[in-house]
Amino acid sequence: MGMMDTMMGSMMGKMSSEDKKNMMDSMMNKFFGEMSVDDKKQMMVEMMPRMMGGIDMQEMMPKMMMSMMGDDLGEGGKMGMISKMMSQCVDTMFPKMAQEERSEFVTNLVINMVKQGLDGLSEQDKEDWLMKVVEAVKT
């Protein structure tokens, strides 16, 4: 693998970012075409930490999701899609998270959502809004 690494390093060093992206796109189907779903999953588990190194996911994900969903804020647009995705993420992630991790995640998420939900509301509207949220959580 040493010679291959050297050759790839030399070739990649000479390519523009656009050329690298184009090459990756063209190679994906060839590379993954005959790979089983389980093999793909295993590869992702091994590769994602290296690919995501240095990336702030909390900053990147909302921007990426909003750009993918267009400008429609209605139920069938961004907000509807985000609601469905968040529910699916919670259903998928939470059973696999340790209790302490889950508690910290939920606390941070709820704090952020409440801050954003209260933004721009009058004091009376804030109080009413918080009461509705608290009642919903209690039931």
Query: pLDDT digit of tens for each residue in the chain (139 aa)?
Result: 577 777 777 777 788 888 888 887 777 777 777 888 888 888 888 877 777 777 777 777 777 766 666 655 555 566 777 777 888 888 888 888 898 888 888 888 889 989 989 999 999 999 999 999 999 989 8
Residue 82 is predicted with a pLDDT of 76
| Closest-CA residue to 94 (of 83, 105, 84, 85) | 105
- Is the pTM higher than 0.75? no
Report the C-alpha gap between 120 and 116 in whole angstroms. 9
Domain boundaries of the chain, sorted by first residue: 78-139
| 85-93 own/partner pairs: CB under 8 Å, 24+ apart | none
